[in-house]
Structure 1
């Protein structure tokens, strides 16, 4: 049994406020992701890269997720910092994100400080932009890993769905804010104080937002402090040596409980479908606009990157609005995974109506299954979009399944990880501190106004106990492996499709390219083809999700 000091707590006078503060770091993360998804692809194209080269650059996302989240998860699981296991890493990684975003936005200015000749500076500018993008992705994955684990560490099993729902809500706020700002001409609105282009200003705002949101969560949450870790001889031997972190990841990966493994496979197939949407959807809407909706003489804009980014941001603003509403409304219409014992009794006057309503409410697994089908149906229509309005509608529809895609896997994994430690039979080494059923985030009337999580202390815990979320870091890291591996598949798929259908530079952005480097716009849009193939993969995810119901 591991030894711990202190009690976890979250500041706030109500449960809603504590949930909001606990998950507030999601706002900055999704805001930053939104800026990346909207502007980085056209930004890289504007520097002179082809779409095929850009798809290779985007391997940064899956590579960082594959390496960073499992490793950071294991490292944070074993951290004995006096500030807690997760928060120091969250703040350190956030500072790296801030510096990387500023370097990404002001790449040309940084390079021109050392190299005056524009032609000579072209390659270093591309190199610095790619390096900054990689650093941003690697660091933000560290923040994401520890933020997810912080929620699992803090909440008992019956609160995991509520925690995941609140994280989804905070994410939707970040999305709608980021896409909304991207759709506005910030240079005209704010002047050139934060930069003379839309992209520069957005990177500055994203850096400030990331710093603020992470700081708020770290300020609001107090973690238990890990004093010592006791491990059985088999696991200690597996972790011996220089590569003990990777040994723990590998040994845990090989002994995943059946339900956790099923969750991972459903995520794997769904992310083959989601990856091209997340990376290229705004660019696809912008290209559709330039192909079908803009007069030929209006295409020679002085800022095609800004034009395409704003059109894409408009579509993603509508998408994020759907995501925002879904994140707040859907939890009211979906049953909790398994916790009828914690359902509050409604007033007697409306109890019969509530009872009837609860009987027809779908559970989260059914909602997850249906979300796969909705996404597939929308993206199967992508190659037939001949108007940016229709493309915008398809993107907006995907807001609903994306909400559930961010909510369901983390909920089910959080519940399973907590169950593993509550004495239920399953493979794996995770054990939970308290098996009592009355763990709540309780209101405190003391001066601090914080809500303490009344876990049983080590001195009085059952002999089978260990800390809630003791190994949540490694399990969420493994889930992220199943999230990132399909992104490599998606990157390879995109590279091949772009090489075949659009081998030259983007005609919308590479205005100085030689005519031989341009491709025509009469054939199918390459991004739309990627979305179509991804839709087929999501059907497989729906099948994998349906099987989860029959696994004990």
Structure 2
């Protein structure tokens, strides 16, 4: 007995928690909406940034190739903030929970950055008189603000996604991801809808004297409100004490832990990450440049279109591009609502020795219900097809010469975007929860991990039991200590952070592709935003003629992204083979 007690004392201590995760709301739909509501403001902010910041930087005087380098802010912030914030939040002992403090802090920083971005000219002009130095400092402050916003947004995104995985059991992961996709679509819809309005006519100069300024104010308010709603509605478990291994992990070891975990990813999670990698080489130019591409297509190839007399060319290009993205968002929203009903969830696939439970329909419609159920595609198939739909649309981008065709192609991509916001997080949430399900000690000292049943109910007042680490008592102790993350219930942050790495690394690839393409095809300053100026030592007419007669640089980037989307479809097909082998 004494020997056994000493052995127990020497074992690594498990994490201890207080409270249970819960969500306010009287119905499951309300609870799901409140849990994912922070993503509305997040995507509203992304929408404003993606619509206006590229033409805004071009208006300040940057060339397209230099502007593409500025957008390294996105992948760089994801590379750093996603996994680092994930690890820090995983080990946070805040009495307010692990995720919400980071969400609220990030929202405040983003709001401040947006306001600085909207008023960069005025802020710099207050200290520096009109000169070349003033122009350089204005560009510098604008770029700094974009970096600040992107870094803070990635912190919010990482913790918002982790909050969903933390709160929901396995059978609810697909539903949670589907609701997240809907909220993303609503955020885009609201953002692009506001951007299509002439806010100076609607609101006057109450929130600023330009379309861009007013959009930054509205985005800041939307983000603060949406993050505040989710933070109010969700109660997290509070981490009281980390397990021994985590206590020893200082800030210096955070990066080592991230790299070690990334290098030793489970096969299924690695497959998910590689699909994400290839698909995001295609999505990056689409998300950051598609609204500018639509606006350029209109002004370059429509003979009657003229922006020469516009007092706000940035706002005009942004509104035209936002209209196509508004339709894109409507398609995304419709897809995010209806696709979950016609696509089979990963946890519904039968496993050896198990039967899936399907409610028995009325006898009169039983044959039809059986036919519909058997004909449902699985989520992997839908994800693979979405890559091919995106690729087919973007292959046509270099040949577009009309606003209507550009709008149609952008709109079609709403369906694959709904899957892109839903599928990878469903698979990742399911795999993380399977790895970290609670263990039950058997009589011989070994253990197994219980997976929640499909019939487990999720309610606002109670959820899955607290995840406890139960160590093997004998031969598996050393192995369990070595693989410390494999049997813990608090690793959602790091795994979603790693998924974020595979979302951001391809953006570096996309950034350098864009830089090269723009430098070759569209050197010099943007002609539409610099009417009446001598551009790069040439007359305005010469520059406009050269640009409009040559291929559109953004369209070429979209075409290259389409090729990579085909690679994502192939990676998804390989992932299917892995699932079949390991089922």
C-alpha contact (below 8 Å) 1:30/1:171 kept by paired residues: yes
Greater CA drift, 511-520 or 277-286 = 511-520
CA spacing shift, 1:240–1:325, aligned 2, 3 Å: closer
Shift of 1:258: 0.5
Which residue of the other structure, out of 160, 163, 173, is the alignment partner of 1:150? 163
CA RMSD across the alignment: 2.2
Secondary structure of the residue aligned to 1:243 is: helix
* Counterpart residue number, 2:264: 255
After superposition, the C-alpha distances for 1:407-442 in whole angstroms (9 at most, x for unaligned) are 100000111111112389xxxxxx999644364222
Which residue of the other structure, out of 454, 457, 466, is the alignment partner of 1:440? 457
CA spacing shift, 1:419–1:503, aligned 2, 3 Å: same
* Counterpart residue number, 1:264: 273
- Does residue 514 (structure 1) correspond to residue 534 (structure 2)? The answer is yes
- Does residue 14 (structure 1) correspond to residue 27 (structure 2)? The answer is yes
- Does residue 217 (structure 1) correspond to residue 230 (structure 2)? The answer is yes
Q: How does 1:95-494 map to 2 (within 5 A)?
A: 95-117=108-130, 119-231=132-244, 240=249, 242-295=251-304, 298-339=307-348, 341=356, 343-422=358-437, 435-437=451-453, 439-442=456-459, 451-457=460-466, 470-494=490-514
Distance between the aligned counterparts of 1:284 and 1:485, measured in 2? Answer: 24
Greater CA drift, 467-476 or 542-551 = 467-476
Which residue of the other structure, out of 67, 74, 77, is the alignment partner of 1:64? 77
Distance between the aligned counterparts of 1:272 and 1:458, measured in 2? Answer: 36
Distance between the aligned counterparts of 1:392 and 1:488, measured in 2? Answer: 27
After superposition, the C-alpha distances for 1:233-261 in whole angstroms (9 at most, x for unaligned) are xx88xx65551111110110111000100
* Counterpart residue number, 1:448: none
* Counterpart residue number, 1:87: 100
C-alpha contact (below 8 Å) 1:276/1:531 kept by paired residues: yes
CA spacing shift, 1:415–1:508, aligned 2, 3 Å: same
* Counterpart residue number, 2:575: 548
Secondary structure of the residue aligned to 1:335 is: coil
Shift of 1:347: 4.3
Unpaired segments ≥5 residues, structure 2: 1-13, 350-355, 440-446, 473-484
Shift of 1:115: 1.8
Distance between the aligned counterparts of 2:206 and 2:487, measured in 1? Answer: 48
Secondary structure of the residue aligned to 1:168 is: helix
Distance between the aligned counterparts of 2:281 and 2:108, measured in 1? Answer: 31
C-alpha contact (below 8 Å) 1:70/1:480 kept by paired residues: yes
Shift of 1:455: 2.7
CA spacing shift, 1:458–1:538, aligned 2, 3 Å: closer
C-alpha contact (below 8 Å) 2:298/2:305 kept by paired residues: no
C-alpha contact (below 8 Å) 1:157/1:415 kept by paired residues: yes
CA spacing shift, 1:434–1:94, aligned 2, 3 Å: farther
Distance between the aligned counterparts of 1:290 and 1:458, measured in 2? Answer: 57
- Does residue 524 (structure 1) correspond to residue 533 (structure 2)? The answer is no
Unpaired segments ≥5 residues, structure 1: 425-430, 443-450
Secondary structure of the residue aligned to 1:259 is: helix
Which residue of the other structure, out of 41, 46, 59, is the alignment partner of 1:28? 41
C-alpha contact (below 8 Å) 1:29/1:174 kept by paired residues: yes
* Counterpart residue number, 1:499: 519
Distance between the aligned counterparts of 2:297 and 2:462, measured in 1? Answer: 51
CA spacing shift, 1:419–1:514, aligned 2, 3 Å: same
C-alpha contact (below 8 Å) 2:121/2:138 kept by paired residues: yes
Distance between the aligned counterparts of 1:121 and 1:452, measured in 2? Answer: 56
Shift of 1:158: 1.1
Shift of 1:468: 8.1
C-alpha contact (below 8 Å) 2:35/2:164 kept by paired residues: yes
C-alpha contact (below 8 Å) 2:169/2:452 kept by paired residues: no
Shift of 1:352: 3.0
C-alpha contact (below 8 Å) 1:433/1:458 kept by paired residues: no
After superposition, the C-alpha distances for 1:454-497 in whole angstroms (9 at most, x for unaligned) are 333578x8668999851000001101111111100100000000
Distance between the aligned counterparts of 2:361 and 2:207, measured in 1? Answer: 51
C-alpha contact (below 8 Å) 2:298/2:403 kept by paired residues: yes
C-alpha contact (below 8 Å) 1:90/1:142 kept by paired residues: yes
Distance between the aligned counterparts of 1:202 and 1:415, measured in 2? Answer: 37
* Counterpart residue number, 1:446: none
Q: Report how many aligned residue pairs link the two structures.
A: 533
